[in-house]
């Protein structure tokens, strides 16, 4: 029982500045993912969860009222005022539909997580935008308007539907907004794997450093794995999961795991410049499924190569559906590598026949990671990646006994 959230109205949030030059946070991102899942036959065996806009009371558990009122005001702003308003913020674009789309994005994730927590679904994928993990309590930033995951977690906790939640953020950028909300909270374990580049990579702050472990009761509940440079690949992520994240997750024993599922660390992403394959995303999804009784929700964040995010999302959905892995079912990076250098017009013009997706899904045998896994499961980390994970592990041994075994 796997659900998904998708609503075409979330495409209405658009950059007004230059329509001829698509913004990286492209409205087509969610359709690209939806379409590959449809073509592959996944949506036929998934439940579509209805999206309703999140209400003020839920937003105000995370965001300040003054910011919410400013966001509401954008509905009646003229184009010139919208363009002037967005300049006040860091890497944000606004239009009249932006606040509605942001409410839909957060509301969609919340609806999906409620169904998972209630047992109506086992897991799910939220195909939503605008993204949320950079959005702070008082300001939007980094393409993010409302903090979708934080709003969802706070509402679930307020309703006493969950006590402990783990958030795994594999977006290539540090989720500074999520960290801000839960930094002193021992009921939410936040773990982020991100490019850091000594604090120079966006959001260009030392908040993503490995020494940021939380404060007060939340000390030890904030785990940052800051990659030192571009080019991080499967072996680095798998090593981090095996050595650090999975032991801590099992000790923490969350009621629900939410993944801030940006796909901008994927091969061919023009911003992330890393080398994570679809197979690796599938492996990480499968490993997280082994925790919290499989209650797992992936929530779209970044990812700016349309083919890369589509293939990566498809890879994640397969283990959620318990579809047995067979060679050729998930396109290799080389298939979309050629499209990475094409113009937007050429990418849009690629006919569906170019994509070789299998429509024959074998659900008779459960994919057992202990028996049959993609090759990346045994991939080795780079020297630099291993050193980073080991240093983070040493820091958190103080807080987690599972890391001392």
Question: How far apart, in Å, are the Cα atoms of 213 and each of 178, 208, 243, 270?
Answer: 13, 10, 18, 30
Q: In what order do the strands lie in the sheet with 222-227?
A: 47-48, 2-5, 123-126, 296-300, 256-261, 165-169, 188-195, 222-227
- What the block records as the tokens of 308 is 């890369």
Which of 90, 200, 103 is closest to 138 using CA atoms? 90
Asked if residue 73 has pLDDT above 60, the reply is: yes
As a whole number of angstroms, the distance between CA 177 and CA 136 comes to 4
Mean pLDDT of 261-280: 95
pLDDT of residue 292: 85
Q: Find out whether 213 and 244 touch, Cβ atoms under 8 Å.
A: no
pLDDT of residue 273: 96
- What the block records as the tokens of 20 is 């001829």
Most confident of 163-167, 277-281, 338-342: 163-167
Residue 48's CB is within 10 A of a number of other CB atoms, namely 11
For residue 266, the cross-strand partners are: 276
* Alpha-carbon torsion, ordered 231, 233, 238, 244, to 10 deg: 0
As a whole number of angstroms, the distance between CA 188 and CA 260 comes to 14
As a whole number of angstroms, the distance between CA 152 and CA 117 comes to 12
As a whole number of angstroms, the distance between CA 267 and CA 273 comes to 7
For residue 227, the cross-strand partners are: 195
What DSSP assignment string belongs to 36-103? HHHHTTGGGGSEEPPP-PPPHHHHTTTS-HHHHHHHHHGGG--HHHHHHHHTTSBS----TTHHHHHH
341 contacts: CB under 8 Å, gap ≥ 6: none
Which of 376, 335, 334, 375 is closest to 357 using CA atoms? 335
Dihedral sign computed on CA atoms, order 369, 372, 377, 378: positive
Asked if residue 66 has pLDDT above 80, the reply is: yes
What is the distance between the terminal CA atoms of the chain, rounded to a whole angstrom? 35
Q: Find out whether 248 and 400 touch, Cβ atoms under 8 Å.
A: yes
The structure tokens 């690209």 sit at 32
Give the residue numbers annotated as catalytic, written as ranges. Answer: 134
Least confident stretch, 21-25, 267-271, 390-394: 21-25
The structure tokens 């008779």 sit at 364
> Which run of H or of E encompasses 320?
helix 306-320
Confidence of residue 332 (pLDDT cuts 50, 70, 90): very low
Confidence of residue 351 (pLDDT cuts 50, 70, 90): very low
As a whole number of angstroms, the distance between CA 14 and CA 29 comes to 12
Tens of pLDDT, residue by residue over 106-155, are 999 999 999 999 999 999 999 999 999 999 999 999 999 999 999 999 99
- What the block records as the tokens of 57 is 């009371």
For residue 144, the cross-strand partners are: 141
> Which run of H or of E encompasses 251?
helix 246-252
Which of 191, 181, 199 is closest to 144 using CA atoms? 181
Confidence of residue 239 (pLDDT cuts 50, 70, 90): very high
As a whole number of angstroms, the distance between CA 214 and CA 218 comes to 5
């Amino acid at each position: 029982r796997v659900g998904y959230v998708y609503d075409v109205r979330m495409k209405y949030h658009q950059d007004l500045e230059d329509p001829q030059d698509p913004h990286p946070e492209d409205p087509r991102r969610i359709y690209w993912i939806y379409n590959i899942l449809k073509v592959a036959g996944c949506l036929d065996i998934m439940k579509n969860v209805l999206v309703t806009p999140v209400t003020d009371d839920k937003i105000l558990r995370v965001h300040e009222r003054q910011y919410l009122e400013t966001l509401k005001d954008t509905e009646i702003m003229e184009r010139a005022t919208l363009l002037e308003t967005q300049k006040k913020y860091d890497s944000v674009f606004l239009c009249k539909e932006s606040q509605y789309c942001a409410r839909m994005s957060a509301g969609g994730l919340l609806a999906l997580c409620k169904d998972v927590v209630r047992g109506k679904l086992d897991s799910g994928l939220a195909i939503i935008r605008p993204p949320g993990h950079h959005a702070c309590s008082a300001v939007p930033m980094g393409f993010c308007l409302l903090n979708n995951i934080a709003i969802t977690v706070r509402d679930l906790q307020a309703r006493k539907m969950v006590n402990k939640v783990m958030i795994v953020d594999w977006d290539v950028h540090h989720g500074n907004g999520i960290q801000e909300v839960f930094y002193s909270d021992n009921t939410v374990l936040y773990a982020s794997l991100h490019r850091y580049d000594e604090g120079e990579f966006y959001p260009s702050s030392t908040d993503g450093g490995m020494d940021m472990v939380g404060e007060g009761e939340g000390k030890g509940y904030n785990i940052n794995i800051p990659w030192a440079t571009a080019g991080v690949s499967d072996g680095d992520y798998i090593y981090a999961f095996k050595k650090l994240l999975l032991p801590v997750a099992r000790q923490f024993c969350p009621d629900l795991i939410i993944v801030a599922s940006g796909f901008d660390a994927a091969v061919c992403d023009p911003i992330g410049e890393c080398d994570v394959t679809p197979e690796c995303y599938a492996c990480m999804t499968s490993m997280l499924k082994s925790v919290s009784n499989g209650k797992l929700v992936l929530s779209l964040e970044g990812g700016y190569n349309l083919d890369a995010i589509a293939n990566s999302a498809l890879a994640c959905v397969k283990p959620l559906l318990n579809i047995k892995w067979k060679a050729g079912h998930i396109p290799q990076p080389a298939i979309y590598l050629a499209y990475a250098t094409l113009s937007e017009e050429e990418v849009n013009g690629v006919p569906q026949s170019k994509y070789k997706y299998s429509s024959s899904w074998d659900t008779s045998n459960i994919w057992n990671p202990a028996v049959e896994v993609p090759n990346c499961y045994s991939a080795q980390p780079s020297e630099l990646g291993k050193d980073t994970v080991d240093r983070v592990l040493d820091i958190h041994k103080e807080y987690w006994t599972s890391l001392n075994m």
